[in-house]
Amino acid sequence: MNALTRSMENLHKKEMLAYMNRKLSSLYIMDTLTGMYNRMGYQQLGEESFRISGLNKRKLLILFVDLDRLKYINDTFGHEYGDMAICAAARALMQCSSRDAVPARTGGEFVLIQSYQSDEVSRELVLRIRRTLEAEGKAQKLPFPLSMSIGTVVTDPESALSFADYVKIADSRLSEETVQTRAAR
């Protein structure tokens, strides 16, 4: 009976250890606030998606996204509201993205990587994300409007550019859009 009890305890310990290892692995690549991938997860999965798309001669769409006025929201309304805005942006991105997408929060920005279909579908995705974010803010009755700046790039499987190069291009386009948006205000 003692041997059976020890065996059951050992089995339970092994199961708990396996569970804790899975939990730690998840925390390693997941952003706990949004449920999206974190920087580590996006780098691992984004690189893998990029490699596979190159092998299959398929294009990827990469979006580099910044939640507008987040510093103002945090400074004026508090970090609780800033977190609510971040979560709303994450929900909008995840809700609008395709099933094969890699949505990630990389600190203050977001990255979304998914299969490219066409320029028209990409433009519609950006508009849908923005509309969904606006609706999220209104549904939560936030005391400020939610908007985001988005830089996009489409990969070329024939190009010598790396995944990091494409992300930098999307980031650069985000910066250009941010400057244009601020100038229009």
The residues, ordered by sequence, that sit 6+ positions from 94 with a Cβ below 8 Å of its Cβ are 35, 36, 101, 103
- The edge-to-edge listing of strands for the beta sheet with 148-154 is 102-105, 109-115, 60-67, 148-154
Using one digit for the tens of pLDDT, what is the confidence trace for 23-57? 545 556 899 999 999 999 999 999 999 999 999 99
**Distance of alpha carbon 170 from alpha carbon 114, whole angstroms:** 13
**Distance of alpha carbon 28 from alpha carbon 41, whole angstroms:** 8
**Distance of alpha carbon 96 from alpha carbon 134, whole angstroms:** 13
DSSP-based three-state secondary structure for 58: coil
Which pLDDT value is given to residue 24? 47
In the predicted model, is pLDDT for residue 20 greater than 60?
no
Using one digit for the tens of pLDDT, what is the confidence trace for 137-148? 999 999 999 999
Contact 100, 115 (CB under 8 A): yes
The residues, ordered by sequence, that sit 6+ positions from 107 with a Cβ below 8 Å of its Cβ are 39
